Structures are given as C-alpha cells and as structure tokens.
A and B are shown apart, each in its own frame.
Chain A
C-alpha cells in the first residue's frame, strides 16, 4: 500500500473527491503519529493504482511530495 500525505486535510478533501469521481479505491486514515505528531489525515491506495493516481493529481494540480510505501 502507498500512503500519501499533505500538510493540511484540505488537500485530502480535494483528493478524496478526485479519486471517488474516478472510482479509484482508497482509504482515508489518520496520519500515523510517527510521520506527523499533529493530528492530520492521509490517503492509502494500492500500489497498482499509484501511477494512475499520480497522473490524476498532477492533472488537478495537487502537489505530490509525501508518498510512502507501507505494509498495511
């Protein structure tokens, strides 16, 4: 799984809408405290949809600079 994070949950909101519209499966989760001690949200996607997701985010001018491969 790939965890994507942003500085604020506002980006998560926008990305959630984009992924729902394109029917890309994803999960909204709290950002693990090891990555961000403040309270924030992240999105989990399968590796199989990473390329498609990154392209969509670039098309929609969503900055992508927080990608992390996670076990679950």
Chain B
C-alpha cells in the first residue's frame, strides 16, 4: 500500500496526486488529507474510477465453496486462498460478485482472513455469504465482511452470471 500525505496542498493538487499515483500502477493507496473539499473530490474521483473497474468485471461471479483453494492438503489450501484473495485485490479488473458457501463462509468470519474480502467490498465487489452455512457453523455473530444471503439470491447469481468455481 502506498501512503500519500496530501496535507497542506491546495485544490486541485490532492486529487491530481491521487490520479497520478494510480496511473503509476499503485492499486492500493492510503491517503492523508486535512480538509473536506479534498476529501469530497477524492471520493468522487474514486467513485468514478471504481465504477470503471467493477464494470469491466460485470457479470463475473466467483463461487468459493471452501475456505481452502484446491484439494489435497488443507494447510496449503488455506495459504493459497489467502494469497489468492490478496492477489485479487491487486488486479485491475474485479469480479462483480463473490459467493461464499459451506466452509467458504469462514473466509468472511476469521479474523486472519476476512480483511481482503472487506477491502473488495469497499471497492464495490458484492460479497454474498450463505446464511444457512453461517448458522450451521454457528458463525452468524462472527461475520466481518460481506452480507448474509440466501439460496434464492445465490441461485440467481449462479444461474444467470458468468461463474467460476474455486
């Protein structure tokens, strides 16, 4: 993550500096500002940029039916899934939706792995977490990212969207 201190800069320098940082290939920025005008300008710019990124991944749904990526060794699978989600955050084209089912719901609840999902949500990715699965694993009160969904909504995504199952 690139940290940019924009305090003391006159308008429109703050938003121009953010734009430049993004054009230089920095996909993750932490910005320090000291006035509301700069904040609103940057939020408006980010919102427009975000719509462009999410639109390019429009209709793409990733279905995560497990907290592990791949089969065979669960410890390796856990590492691979964490690496995958962190890498997804760095890609220029994001999926429209992530659907988490079965042990996949742990990814949205475990304090060691929910953050990338939270960040993806903040970037506009829809993160759906199976409510039945949360209940089964007694994780309803542990949800830290995404929104609780149900089979009807999830089925709609799986039937009508371009789905990749991991």
Contact = CB atoms under 8 A, between A and B. Distances in A.
Interface of A: 1, 9, 12-13, 16, 20, 27-30, 41, 71-72
Contact of B79 (A1, A16, A71, A72): A16
Most buried by B among A13, A20, A28, A72: A28
B87 interface: yes
Interface in B1-15: 1-2
A9 B27 CA distance: 26
12 contacts: A13-B76, A16-B79, A27-B86, A28-B79, A28-B83, A29-B86, A30-B83, A41-B79, A41-B80, A71-B2, A72-B27, A72-B28
B79 A12 contact: yes
Contact of B1 (A29, A41, A72): A72
Contact of A9 (B2, B79, B112): B79
A41 B82 CA distance: 10
Interface of B: 1-2, 26-28, 75-76, 79-80, 82-83, 86-87, 112
A47 to B, nearest CB: 11
A1 to B, nearest CB: 7
Contacts, number: 31
B110 to A, nearest CB: 10
Contacts of A41: 79-80, 83
Please list the 8 inter-chain residue pairs (A to B) with the smallest Cβ-Cβ separation, ordered nearest first.
Answer: A28-B82, A28-B83, A29-B86, A27-B86, A72-B1, A20-B112, A72-B2, A30-B83
A13 B68 CA distance: 14
Given A28-B86, A29-B83, A29-B87, A72 B76 contact: no
B86 A13 contact: no
